[in-house]
Amino acid sequence: MSPHPSANGTGQNDTGQTDVGSGAQAPLLTAALDDAIDRLARADDATKLDGQRAVLDFVDRILRVEGGVEAIFARAVQMDVAGLFVGSDWNIPEALLPQMSARTLLAEDSALVAIEVVSLGRFLAVASGAARHANLHQETARHFLTQVLALNLKDIFGHSSEATRALGDRQETKQRILRFISEHIGLTHVLSVLVTEVWRLLEQRSVQVDVVKDMIAQIAIALNEHGTEPGSERLGAERLVSALFGPTVASLDDPGIAVYLERISHFDEPSLSREAMGFARAMHDTGLVSDYHVTFLLHVLDVDDRALVPETLGLGTIGQDCWRQYRRLIEDLIRAGVTLATPQAIYGLAMLLERGILHHGPMVPALDRQLRQKVQGSARARLTLGFGETMPPETHLLAGVLQIIGQPLGIGQGANPTCQSARAIAMWSQVEPDYLLHILSQACEFDAVLMKFEGTEINSATLPAGLAGSGPIDADPVSVLLVSHLDKIYAEMGHLCIGREGDPHRWINPEFHGWWVSRDCAVAVDVATGKLSEYDTFLRRFFATYHPHHNGDRPVSHPQPAGIAVTDPNRQFVGWHAIAILRVAEDQAGKMRVYFYNPNNDSGQDWGGGVIVSTSGNGERYGEGSLEFGHFLSRVYLFHYEPLRGQETMGGVPDAALEPVRAQATQSWAANRQ
């Protein structure tokens, strides 16, 4: 939604809905709501229903304006007393279920959403002691809201999935309401759930961690103000807080940067070494970098104690070997890319060195070029818009490069509808990082990216905007610059495939991503009708291509693009989504799993029917999602395979292996496609 009212002054957007930013409408609407509440309170049995509808209508409209949630919650008790809940399930608050609350907030019926919001406002008033209710005690109300928050932590975090993004305005409304509640009752009572959720997200090692850092700050406040009982809950919380605000002996009391610098300036070599190891341990434990870590690393460079750099980065054998051979380049990368505004660049650099990619011939000159790269024109303006003016755009971009190449599977599209572009950046980071830096250099200097499709040159500067428009601002710096270009090129490749029979991804994916993508493509649905087409053959071919027991035990050597049919927890179809198959292997329990990259900031999703994506605990590496082989295949609708192998091994796949997969698909996304 636009943050500004429409030009006609009605405060409505193109869909006819009142805009959240239309704060000028709030006084008029709240006055009208007050009148409606008064009429409802005076209504008799014959007119009560009309009065309720009028109130709910104004609640729905106020919910869309700035400050609307506050206005509704402030009047919730009045609406209750006036009889808003009479004749409904909400009239018995002690019988309401917290797990139903969030689902109702996403209802298509605006009246249902409105009555749920007022109900939550009543709970909050009782929980905070601002009101009393005959059938609702203060502690019961607080417990109810705590459960609602604990069940919907992702919405408070701001993380989204394909399913939630498809809900649009309804999801935004739900998030605003839940955040308002969390701000007023605090998150202390959901601390254990919150800590568990933060650790779950950190295990995925996302490049974007600002939201998680904000949550850890809230945990720190909760611990400081209220504390918790001793135990694993408090230990997990304190580990998170210390990783950011006091990971070493000298920073344990969070003294501030100036005091910390004064302390370590008097340290001897063993004391500095202990600090270095403390920072490295905390960083690799959580994937988070403290501002004190930045301060320490720059200090040891300035005082010419460079021997401590590998310790401070926590480098292993491969990383130390890179340090010894390319020390000057690494020092230059630190000085240019690591600042208090870009602390996560340290973790990105450490992981880049651990990958050993500096030994890949083109990478040293490519990174050296990036150090000298100037960002021009509109590209510079976009980085400034996204990251501010505290540091030059070149600093943010270099920090982003270190993170992207160090953490290829940490790239997330967030709320942007461009999973193909995010996937491409991740795949290039994994396989051809020098190519990624090549096209990034084009975007910086010329605000354009050149690619070829079957010999035809495509220049993004000459193409109309794609799905991403001018591109995301709420992403990493590399994505901020590249996504709009890649999105336009991807769309143009699709345009060049018009008239060809079958799915255009068969030709687009190898040309767009790289030589390593298998040249043939299997699709589960007929492109023209959307119905399943030769589905058993499709399943059998996937087994023969990827299952070690049916493909001659051939591993996946390079990430392969694939398309999945995303479903929600009720197994309802949400949409098509681009992912990459990384590897197929047995987990600790001996179950065959597919490990894949999902270009999301959170890969842990419930796709219904027992298909719940795992992100840790089943042999996943940082950034991977995984599913048992059959569960994964039940959501696949497109994958690539090697045409030279033909159908040589397909006959060895038994029907019994296909049946449960077919059943899961036809009971979910393919229910209406048979």
pLDDT tens digits, one per residue of 101-149:
888 998 889 999 999 999 999 999 999 888 888 878 888 888 888 888 8
295 compared with 233, residue with greater pLDDT? 295
pLDDT (average), residues 430-441: 96
Domain layout of the chain by residue ranges: 1-186, 374-496, 520-666
pLDDT the model gives residue 188: 66
Are the beta carbons of 638 and 566 closer than 8 angstroms?
no
Are the beta carbons of 584 and 548 closer than 8 angstroms?
yes
pLDDT per residue over 501-541, tens digit each? Answer: 888 999 999 999 999 999 899 999 998 888 999 999 999 99
Are the beta carbons of 351 and 315 closer than 8 angstroms?
no
155 compared with 330, residue with greater pLDDT? 330
Query: What tokens appear for 258 in the block?
Result: 């100036």
Which of 654, 461, 435 is CA-nearest to residue 550?
A: 654
- pLDDT band for 10, please (50, 70, 90 cuts): very low
Element spanning 302, H or E: helix 291-302
pLDDT the model gives residue 195: 84
Q: Residue 173: pLDDT above 90?
A: no
pLDDT the model gives residue 624: 95
- pLDDT band for 23, please (50, 70, 90 cuts): low
3-state secondary structure of 12: strand
Q: Residue 4: pLDDT above 50?
A: no
Q: Residue 18: pLDDT above 50?
A: no
100 compared with 41, residue with greater pLDDT? 41
Are the beta carbons of 403 and 561 closer than 8 angstroms?
no
94 compared with 117, residue with greater pLDDT? 117
pLDDT the model gives residue 525: 93
pLDDT (average), residues 399-409: 97
CB contact set of 465 (below 8 Å; sequence gap of 6+): 484, 488
pLDDT per residue over 586-622, tens digit each? Answer: 999 999 999 999 998 788 888 989 999 999 999 999 9
3-state secondary structure of 229: coil
pLDDT the model gives residue 12: 36
Lowest mean pLDDT: which of 5-9, 24-28, 368-372, 453-457?
5-9
Query: What tokens appear for 276 in the block?
Result: 């270095």
pLDDT (average), residues 569-593: 92
pLDDT the model gives residue 6: 29
Q: Is 639 exposed, middle or buried (0-12, 13-18, 19+ CB in 10 A)?
A: buried
Prediction pTM value:
0.81
CB contact set of 7 (below 8 Å; sequence gap of 6+): none
Please, which residues bridge with residue 636 across strands?
Answer: 564
Q: Residue 16: pLDDT above 50?
A: no
Q: Which amino acid is at 564?
A: I
106 compared with 19, residue with greater pLDDT? 106
Q: Residue 362: pLDDT above 80?
A: yes
pLDDT the model gives residue 432: 95
Tell me the average pLDDT of the chain: 88
Residue corresponding to tokens 């607080």: 142
3-state secondary structure of 650: helix
pLDDT the model gives residue 190: 75
Query: What tokens appear for 174 in the block?
Result: 């739900």
pLDDT (average), residues 36-51: 93
pLDDT per residue over 199-220, tens digit each? Answer: 988 999 999 998 888 888 878 8
Q: Residue 260: pLDDT above 80?
A: yes
Task: Strand 560-567: give its sheet, edge to edge.
Answer: 520-523, 636-641, 560-567, 573-586, 592-597, 625-628
pLDDT (average), residues 379-395: 94
CB contact set of 243 (below 8 Å; sequence gap of 6+): 216, 282, 283, 285, 286, 288, 290
pLDDT (average), residues 250-268: 95
CB environment 435-450: b (16+ within 10 A), e (fewer):
ebbbbbebbbeebbbe
pLDDT the model gives residue 646: 60
**404 dihedral zone (left: phi>0; alpha: psi -120 to 50; beta):** alpha
Q: Residue 367: pLDDT above 90?
A: yes
- Rounded Cα distance, 119 and 76, in Å: 7
